[in-house]
Structure 1
Amino acid sequence: MSRLLTRIAVSALSLLAAVATAGAAEQPREIRVDYAYYSPPSLVLKRFGWLEQEFKADNIPVKWVLSQGSNRALEFLNSGSIDFGSTAGLAAVLSRANGNPIKGVYIYSRPEWTALVVPKDSPIKSVKDLKGRKVAATKGTDPYLFLLRSLHQEGLKKTDIEHASLQHADGRTALEQGKVDAWAGLDPLMAASEIDAGSRLIYRNVSFNTYGFLNTTESFSRQYPEHVKRVIASYEKARKWILANPEETAKIVAEEAKLSLPVAKLQLTRNEFSNPVPGAEHIRALKAAAPILIEEELVKRGTDVNKVIDDLVDPTWAKAIVR
């Protein structure tokens, strides 16, 4: 009898160990999320620690990584350095078309990154005036793709300008130091340049905007679907808080991004937070923008960009959360 009881006890312990191991395998060791100065919800989340609270009971730590542009966020996702990255929509399309297996699972906002900036005393007044000029833009980001679309709209090509490939902050600095003639900017850097240096927007076209996507990798979403929902739920909490607390949001953005309060307020007036579920509106915007990727040979010849967009945009998780 004692041997039987011993065997039963050993079997029970083995079963408990197996269950514990299986449970551990069903959750990640940590959640790695980027924050970006162009994504106010990420700054609010980081400030209040809501993601940390969400995963505290599971003993899953949250790691924050700064993304200085869509190109950096996409590089981090592709290398496995982060699980969630904040990017512009068209930049995400370009990255997926070139082999980065990501999913756009939430719209954190429609930020301002569709404008061309010149110094306050510049003689440049229009996109056509950029011909033969030196223009800064960060490759692989929406401002760069916006620049190309704006040139094409005026019958110009990228070879008609001298492109200076600079990260966003460096582009602003180069503009204000007179090292480039124009800059394809984004907020909050663009708002800061306007207010602090008197820089001017010579062209702005919100219809070219392809929204701010929160992306995750296909492998993470496949392995941890419930954790994707929980991250989105935290982002949704931040979005609703922003809508209810615009003044406090501006203070958080100013402090986190080290901006003046007027700059943060200007940035927020050019952010739109109304439609967080990826869907038809966002797909239309991406498909309208997609031809530039083919025309400029930024994707492999023969790439079905519309299919890439359909594969990228995945509302499954957001639909389950957003009410």
Structure 2
Amino acid sequence: MKRRTLLKSAAGAAAVLAVPSLVRAAAPLKELRLDYAYYSPSSLVLKRFGWLEEAFKPAGTDIKWVLSAGSNRALEYLNGNSIDIGSSAGLAALLARANGNPIRTPYIYSRPEWTALVVRKDSPVRSVADLKGKKVAATKGTDPYLFLLRSLKQAGLKRGDIEHVALQHADGRTALEQGRVDAWAGLDPHMAASELEGGARLVYRNVAFNTYGFLNVREEFLAQRPEEVTRVLAAYERARKWIIANPSEAARILAEEAKVSLPVALLQVKLRTDFSQPQPGEEHVAALRQAAPILQQEALVKPGTNLDRTIADLVDTRFARALTGKA
């Protein structure tokens, strides 16, 4: 997919916004449904301070918050029309879109190092290669699971070389610490808590295999409610800038919401999360293109799926540009 094709796709989508009569015809929005997640500190800040409730009060719109335990849950809620806006990892969003989930991504809420391969402190496992024949916990449809697959491939292993144990993130931590699995593809803050409080070791880290935090919107909602989406993104921008200025306070909110210790939250917010680039663009497209082959190699998408086209359909540059001032 050439850059001009991507830009053409975005321009075509922008034509929807060029028909203001369609926007004005929409009835007032009674309820806005969106998720909050411990892997998205911005969502926790928004929920804590009530900035969305404040922004939508003049329109009489109620705000409904739904907890997402992982990208898989957020994407399921979006696909099932249970929420309008949800947060996930970038590669997980691409997988969902490729398999028919009608979402677009108009905003990047963070660039985290939120996943790694984790073992107990007394584990004999010292490298990814040592995982052959071992039980490894990971949540399917999430960045940690896809991180695991990419890590195995890089080490010359296949998915069938391990015994994958499908568990939600928090349950994966418990299984690891109880010795029911040999390794776990972790997710912060659970991973940071296991590391700091349980002595777990991160046996393999790779920031490049951690895809970005994508804020996804149901495509229908995005087309029908562009003004409301823009208002949500403006609130996310307010939260992002507040976190950059107040990282310790943001960590305290995370600690209270996720019920983890303050050192765990500080590790996630201050050392493992970059909030500097909210505008979707070529950086994020390139990261998805680099990661996308694993989806076809592992038969996670239908044969013949055009992932370049899917990426172009997913990444939406129209909305955040006006807020961030970045081209």
User: Same-fold call, TM > 0.5?
Assistant: yes
Distance 2:226 2:24 in 1: 14
**CA–CA separation in structure 2 for the residues paired with 1:197 and 1:24:** 56
Match of 2:266 in 1: 265
Distance 2:59 2:87 in 1: 25
Superposition deviation, residue 113 in structure 1: 2.9
CA distance in 1, matches of 2:114, 2:99: 22
| Structure-2 residue corresponding to 1:64 | 65
| Partner Cα distance (2:217, 2:255) in 1 | 27
- After superposition, residues 30-45 of structure 1 pair within 5 angstroms as 30-45=31-46
- How far, CA to CA, are the matches of 1:131 and 1:103 in structure 2? 37
Structure 1 residues not aligned, in runs of 5+: 1-21
Q: CA deviation at 1:213?
A: 0.3
Deviation at 1:236, TM superposition (A): 0.3
Match of 1:123 in 2: 124
Partner secondary structure for residue 163 of structure 1: strand
How much does 1:24 deviate? 7.9
Partner of 2:167: 166
How big is the shift at 1:23?
6.2
CA distance in 2, matches of 1:305, 1:25: 33
Aligned ranges 1:1-323 → 2 under 5 Å: 25-268=26-269, 269-323=271-325
Deviations 1:244-266 (A, max 9, x none): 00111111111111110000001
Question: Amino acid of the residue matched to residue 294 of structure 2?
Answer: I
Q: Which amino acid aligns with 1:149?
A: R
8 A contact 1:135–1:164 mirrored in 2: yes
Q: Per the alignment, in what secondary structure is the counterpart of residue 320 of structure 1?
A: helix
Tell me the SS of whatever aligns to 1:57. Answer: helix
Supply the AA of the counterpart residue of 2:305.
T
CA distance in 2, matches of 1:266, 1:136: 23
Q: Would the aligned equivalents of 2:285 and 2:315 in 1 still touch at CA under 8 Å?
A: yes
1:111 deviates by 2.1
Give the drift of 1:320.
1.6
Q: Which moved more, 1:106-115 or 1:146-155?
A: 106-115
Name 2:5's counterpart in structure 1: none
Q: Structure 2 counterpart of 1:259, which letter? A: V
Residues 174-221 of structure 1 show CA distances to partners (whole Å, capped at 9, x for unaligned) of 000000000001110000000110000000000112100000011000
Number of equivalences: 302
Q: Is the 8 A contact 2:114 2:268 kept in 1?
A: no
Distance across 2 between alignment mates of 1:237 and 1:24 = 29
Distance 2:278 2:163 in 1: 37
Select the structure of larger CA radius of gyration: 1
Unpaired runs of 5+ in structure 2? 1-22
Runs of 4+ in 1 over 6 A off after TM superposition: none
Per the normalisation by structure 2, the TM-score is: 0.91
Does structure 1 conserve the Cα–Cα contact (< 8 Å) formed by 2:115 and 2:191?
A: no
TM-score scaled by length of structure 1: 0.92
Q: Tell me the alpha carbon deviations over residues 156-184 of structure 1, each in whole angstroms, 9 at most, x when there is no partner.
A: 00000000000001000000000000000
> Any conservation in 1 of the 2:26–2:224 contact (CA below 8 Å)?
no
* 2:236 partner SS: helix
Contact 2:114 2:272 in 1 (8 A): no
